[in-house]
């Protein structure tokens, strides 16, 4: 058995690090000890959706179509883009019937 020192860096999860001395130390299955929502996955977005609330009819088509569950509904019922997770795919803007969502290039 090869003995290796392996470190598992999960930098996006707030620098959470676990050290394993040998393969035997590893759990049988890879299991993360932090929930997935602490991992912000949108750093590489090129375009961001911007919602013009004046045109929004609260139909929630954008919410339904978002493939990454990156649109939330706020206390007043308005859709809100969760920019920590939105990858800028533009599906929401494409599907929005009243054309309330515009894709704006990131700086």
Partner 1 sequence: MVQEVISGNYAQSYAAKLARVQVVSAYPITPQTSIVERIAEFVAAGELRAEYIKVESEHSAMQACISAAALGARTYTATSSQGLLLMHELLHWAAGARAPVVMGVVNRAVAPPWSIWTDHADTISQRDTGWIQFYCESNQEVLDTTLLAFRLAEHADVLLPAMITEDAFFLSHTVEPVDIPSQEQVDEFLPPRVTKMAIRPGTIGRLGSFTGPDLYMEFRHKIAQAMERSADLFLEIEDDYERLTGRNHGGPLPTYQVDDADAVLITMGTATTTARAVVDAMRARGKKVGLAKLRAFRPFPVREIRQLGARVDRIGVLDRSFTFGAAGAAFTEVVGALYGSRHRPRVRDFVAGIGGRDITPQAVDEMFTALLKDRGPEVDWVGLKHRLEVNRRG
User: Site map for partner 1, 55-94, x if CB under 8 A?
Assistant: ----------------------------------------
The answer to whether 31 contacts partner 1 (rule: CB under 8 A) is yes
- Is the four-CA dihedral 48, 102, 93, 79 of positive or negative sign? positive
The answer to whether 28 contacts partner 1 (rule: CB under 8 A) is yes
Nearest distance in Å: CB 18, partner 1: 10
Nearest distance in Å: CB 8, partner 1: 6
- Report yes or no: 71 and 81 within 8 Å, Cβ to Cβ: yes
Q: Give the burial string for 19-30 (b: 16+ CB within 10 Å, else e).
A: eeeeeeeeeeee
| Interface region with partner 1, contact rule CB under 8 A, candidates 6-14, 55-63, 75-83, 88-96 | 6-14
Angstrom distances, CA of residue 59 to CA of 4, 6, 32, 81: 55, 49, 36, 15
Nearest distance in Å: CB 15, partner 1: 15
Residues within the interface to partner 1 (CB under 8 A): 4, 6-10, 20, 23, 26-36
């Amino acid at each position: 058995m090869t003995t290796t020192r392996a470190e598992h860096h999960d930098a996006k999860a707030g620098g959470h690090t676990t050290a394993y001395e040998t393969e035997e130390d590893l759990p049988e299955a890879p299991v993360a000890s932090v929930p997935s929502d602490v991992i912000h996955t949108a750093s590489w977005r090129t375009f961001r959706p911007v919602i013009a609330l004046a045109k929004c009819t609260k139909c929630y088509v954008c919410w339904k179509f978002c493939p990454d569950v990156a649109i939330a509904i706020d206390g007043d019922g308005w859709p809100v883009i969760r920019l920590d997770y939105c990858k800028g795919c533009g599906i929401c803007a494409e599907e929005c019937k009243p054309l309330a969502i515009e894709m704006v290039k990131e700086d």
